[in-house]
Amino acid sequence: MTGKPQHIFILVLCSLFLTPAQAQERQATSRAEECINIFTDVLRQVDVNYVDTLNYEQLTETAINAMLRKIDPYTVYYPNKNDRDLRMMTTGKYGGIGSIIQQRPAPAKDTKANGRKTKVSKDSLWTYAVNPYEGKPAQRAGVQAGDRILSVDGKTTRGLSVSEVSNNLRGIPGTTVVLELQREGVDKPFKVEIVREDIHLDPIQYYTAISADTLTEKVGYISFGEFTEGSAQEFSNALDDLYYNQGARRLIIDLRGNGGGIVDEAMQMVNLFVDRDQLVVETKGKTSNSNRTYRTRNNPRYKDLPLIILVDKNSASASEIVSGALQDLGRAKLIGQRTFGKGLVQNVRPVVYGGHVKVTTSKYYLPSGRCIQAIDYSEAQKGHELKRDTAGGILPDIVLDDSAKVDITYSLYINNYFFDYATRYHRLHAEIAAPEVFELSDADIEDFCRYLDEREFKYETETGKFFSDMIRMAEHEDIDTATLARLKAMEADLTPDFREAVARNKEEVKNLLGSEIVLRYYYQRGQAAYQLRYDKELHRALQEFK
């Protein structure tokens, strides 16, 4: 009797000395335990009473994924079976064949399109190799862009999703996978055996020294793909080659489409250009462990090298740290479009049974104090509509318009006509000129138009589609015949001849079709070299070095 009040007194006394943060954490823990108990009890009740047998692993994984989607797109659960996806994300490596694949209908007349993607059944979809990486197992085994993958290890790919086929292609390095392929111009399907390797995607997509008529010195150009382990060192090696061996005395870093990666790699890249002990980025979160300050550790090797960075709306995370910090520090000029605004920090935490959870723990803040993050995901947790903060992301010093004109090139691209013609061109031409000089002739464009005729391509503009829908509606309404006749006459005027449309957009058609063809012969680096000749943003950057 005498001990119980004393224990209560001690418990109350201890609680009085809790800091506000500790009290809040204890309250949050209590709420979490209550919710876990509810979930466990619901699962137990369903398990006992549900009429059919349950797949507990699938139910639990579905529940976890649904919960995390309410938080933000970057907080993700990786069960043990998906551990290789996590490994590829953080290291840029995976066990596979080294080829990009795509799902689409077979390129036959019965799947012709008229300017917008047609809806097709799942069973009519096939998987194609669209971009074998140079020097990787698929390319070395003879797989070509345009090959239809009929089966993987004897299992058909028909109707399977890209992720399902990709999972079948990946595996332990050193193991063998057998692909059954169908190639245009080859009568029968054939099989190839490919030994999987630990695939490392090169973060340096392409680099070169550019000589411009308006400049007395060469300009180095580096297209940087992703911030994975060792990528900063590879960037440094490329820069050394440009500076010491190729004579580049100015530099353009292309971070367009770079989705980010490891922040330490971004730090090392920034450190090449700014002084030691310089603040680059800070992280701020709920816990003290989430708050961190990143400063440069070494003396810069290229402190005075003139620098321009190309960015776009798909530049995110670590690429925003590099571009934003160098902009804040007055070290680089940015050209392009406002970046994505992905300023959330994720850490990977182990969970039971070999799984991991990648969880958002803090936000990135640049030296000027601005936050990179552009979307407030906390609103989603409250059930509100997501809002994009217009101050988020990185605004370039020179903003260039990236609005795309919707013309025939869009129709040809989304319906794979450029891709399929390039496959045919590659079959009929043993070799082409180097990507720096290759160019399609007017005769090639005419042959492409004949190919579109064979495929019964019909070019329909969005305005024409609108008029067709309007006329069908007018025919069921009280519209006089004279008005209907005038509308139909206008509809005919809005259905252009595709040859005339190709002629009006010939340069862009040559560019996109030529890029697809060059990829067949010279792979990714050759395609990058070809595309630089048509890169308006790159040419704008060169003008800034005058």
Q: How many Cβ atoms from other residues are within 10 Å of residue 19's Cβ?
A: 8
Has residue 428 been placed in a domain?
A: yes
Query: Distances from the Cα of 26 to the Cαs of 21, 105, 146, 285, 509, in angstroms?
Result: 9, 56, 58, 18, 63
Clarify whether residues 228 and 135 are in a common domain: no
Nearest residue to 389 (alpha-carbon basis) of 349, 430, 436, 342:
342
Clarify whether residues 421 and 534 are in a common domain: yes
Q: Looking at 178, 200, 222, which one is the last position of a domain?
A: 200
Compute CA 391 distance to the chain's CA centroid, rounded to the nearest angstrom: 23
Q: Helix 231-240 crosses helix 263-271 at what angle (to 10 degrees)?
A: 20
- According to the model, what pLDDT value does residue 475 have? 80
Clarify whether residues 310 and 373 are in a common domain: yes
- According to the model, what pLDDT value does residue 279 have? 98
CB of 235 closer than 8 Å to CB of 254: no
- According to the model, what pLDDT value does residue 168 have? 93
Sign of CA dihedral 7, 13, 18, 24: positive
Has residue 269 been placed in a domain?
A: yes
Nearest residue to 441 (alpha-carbon basis) of 514, 369, 346, 536:
514
Clarify whether residues 223 and 339 are in a common domain: yes
- According to the model, what pLDDT value does residue 110 have? 40
CB of 168 closer than 8 Å to CB of 155: yes
Has residue 490 been placed in a domain?
A: no
Distance, in Å, from the CA atom of 8 to the CA atom of 31, rounded to the nearest integer, reads: 23
CB proximity list for 256: less than 8 A, separation 6 or greater: 310, 311, 312, 314, 315, 336, 537
Distance, in Å, from the CA atom of 41 to the CA atom of 50, rounded to the nearest integer, reads: 14
Please report, for the domain that includes residue 345, its CATH number.
3.90.226.10
Nearest residue to 317 (alpha-carbon basis) of 227, 398, 378, 380:
227
Q: Looking at 380, 399, 418, which one is the last position of a domain?
A: 399
- According to the model, what pLDDT value does residue 429 have? 96
Has residue 80 been placed in a domain?
A: no
Clarify whether residues 191 and 210 are in a common domain: no
Distance, in Å, from the CA atom of 160 to the CA atom of 52, rounded to the nearest integer, reads: 27
User: Which residue intervals of 329-416 are DSSP H helices?
Assistant: 378-381, 408-414
Clarify whether residues 131 and 272 are in a common domain: no
Clarify whether residues 217 and 122 are in a common domain: no
Compute CA 322 distance to the chain's CA centroid, rounded to the nearest angstrom: 18
Distance, in Å, from the CA atom of 281 to the CA atom of 328, rounded to the nearest integer, reads: 11
CB of 336 closer than 8 Å to CB of 357: no
Residue with tokens 């934003």: 324
Distance, in Å, from the CA atom of 251 to the CA atom of 309, rounded to the nearest integer, reads: 8
Distance, in Å, from the CA atom of 238 to the CA atom of 249, rounded to the nearest integer, reads: 13
Per-residue pLDDT reduced to its tens digit, 335-374: 999 999 999 998 889 988 889 999 999 999 999 999 999 8
Report the SS3 class of residue 468. helix
Residue type, 485: A
Nearest residue to 348 (alpha-carbon basis) of 261, 277, 240, 471:
261
3-state secondary structure string across 433-488: CCCCCCCCCHHHHHHHHHHHHHCCCCCCCHHHHHHHHHHHHHHCCCCCHHHHHHHH
Please report, for the domain that includes residue 161, its CATH number.
2.30.42.10
Compute CA 417 distance to the chain's CA centroid, rounded to the nearest angstrom: 22
- According to the model, what pLDDT value does residue 92 have? 59
Per-residue pLDDT reduced to its tens digit, 191-230: 999 999 998 889 999 999 999 888 899 999 999 999 999 9
Mean pLDDT by 10 residues, the chain (546 residues): 50 52 65 88 90 89 91 89 69 82 73 48 81 95 96 93 92 94 95 94 94 90 95 98 98 97 95 98 92 97 97 96 98 97 90 90 95 79 63 93 83 94 96 97 97 91 75 80 78 79 94 97 96 95 91
Q: Looking at 200, 233, 266, which one is the last position of a domain?
A: 200
- According to the model, what pLDDT value does residue 116 have? 47
This prediction has a pTM of 0.83
- The boundaries of the domain holding residue 521 are 408-461+496-544
Q: Are strands 190-195 and 76-78 parallel, antiparallel or unpaired?
A: unpaired
Clarify whether residues 274 and 329 are in a common domain: yes
Clarify whether residues 163 and 253 are in a common domain: no
Residues forming a β-bridge with 198: 95
Clarify whether residues 99 and 133 are in a common domain: yes
Clarify whether residues 314 and 416 are in a common domain: no
Count up the domains in the chain and report the number: 3
Clarify whether residues 504 and 359 are in a common domain: no
- According to the model, what pLDDT value does residue 9 have? 47
Has residue 295 been placed in a domain?
A: yes
